[in-house]
Amino acid sequence: MNRRKLVRNAGLGAVAATGLAAPALAQGLPEIKWRLTSSFPKSLDTIFGAGEHFARRVAQLTENRFQIRVFAGGEIVPALQALDAVQNGTVECCHTAPYYYVGKDPTFAFDTAVPFGLNTRQHNAWIYHGGGLELMREFYKDYNVTSYLLSHTGAQMGGWYRKEIKTPDDLKGLKMRIGGFAGQVLAKLGVIAQQIAGGDIYPALEKGVIDAAEWVGPYDDQKLGFNKVAPYYYYPGWWEGGAALSLFVNLKAIEALPDTYRYAIETAAGETVSWSVAKYDAQNPRALRELVASGTKLSPFPAVVMEACFAAAQQLYAETAAANPRFKKVHDHYMAFRREQVLWFRVAEGTFDNFMARQSAADRL
């Protein structure tokens, strides 16, 4: 027998088998089309783009049989009504910041970020391996949705201000765009907090409707032009040590999917988390340099301001936990996890990062 001919024919057989298998798989999958409404404007290619990246990967993983069309905030429903649209079945899913919905229940905040909470890696650990996903999904059942971690911004900046912030007294009477639970913390210090969708922040700041605004960080903030109407840029965003954004899916819609498509959603969402963090980390340094070069006045929040905010946050946590059993359940679990994470990060990550920061300050890098 000719060995080369045998090997060659065997190879052709394998190719043929592979060629037959793919169409057979595709034929067994239904064609499904969903709509995803985003809470973010198309101009922000990272935070809005995360939804597009997710939809593209789902299509690729299902041989284009499962298509998810992504709509910007306002195209189907207003940006801050994305959850409602999924809850009532107007759309199958949305990409949003859960803390936008603290007006329904402050427990939503834990799925995005809470003041002086977890950083990005710590939040991912809580969601994926610390029991956070199970806790949040249990909570979300009452809203007719389930959730997936979809993207992350990393640690955020402290926002743009028309005036300097030197002491807690400078916060009194300040009209500020800020979302989530943090607005309630700042309200204890005299801030008039307003939740405004991303695409509407610039005109509100430009017209003086608000005195300050926070969004994400240099890359997005530069695109939105905040530096043109507010000169002072503060850090850190103590209310968002790592802001996580979620995919909410209507319960009936997810239950109707074949398992293959559910796995595709889970896989694509997990990949998009890494994609979004990496893109922000890659883009923010250049954007910050350009902002400072153009005249932005970059400053850390004074320690006295940070301490006052921390104290106000602890007070609000205690008050809210005493009044809301669902909040208390997640709060107690989350804070216990935070305590262990901060202890660990003090040993390795914090020590390394602080050393490297000192080298940078000494211009040795």
Run of H or E including 32: strand 32-38
Residues 194 and 191: their CA atoms lie apart, in Å, by: 9
Task: Label residue 180 by pLDDT band (50, 70, 90).
Answer: confident
Q: What is the pLDDT of residues 76-124, one digit of tens each?
A: 999 999 999 999 999 999 999 999 999 999 999 999 999 999 999 999 9
Asked which of 27-36, 63-72, 290-299, 356-365 is least confident by mean pLDDT, the reply is 27-36
Residues 70 and 68: their CA atoms lie apart, in Å, by: 6
Report all structural domains of the chain as residue ranges with CATH numbers, in order of start.
Answer: 13-154+242-282 (3.40.190.170)
Question: Got the DSSP string for 122-178?
Answer: HHHHHHHHSSHHHHHHHHHGGGTEEEEEEEE--SPP-EEESS---SGGGGTT-EEE-
**pLDDT confidence of residue 16:** 35
Q: What angle do CA 131, 137, 141 make, to 5 degrees?
A: 150
Q: Are 244 and 112 in contact (CB under 8 A)?
A: yes
**pLDDT confidence of residue 17:** 36
Q: pTM (2 decimals)? A: 0.91
Residues 269 and 275: their CA atoms lie apart, in Å, by: 10
Is residue 183 scored above 70 in pLDDT? yes
Select from 323, 279, 250 the least CA-distant residue to 151: 279
- Return the structure tokens found at 110: 């834990």
Q: What is the pLDDT of residues 328-350, one digit of tens each?
A: 999 999 999 999 999 999 999 99
Residue 234: what are its φ and ψ, rounded to 5°?
Answer: -105, 155
**pLDDT confidence of residue 270:** 98
Q: Are 151 and 272 in contact (CB under 8 A)?
A: yes
Task: Label residue 28 by pLDDT band (50, 70, 90).
Answer: confident
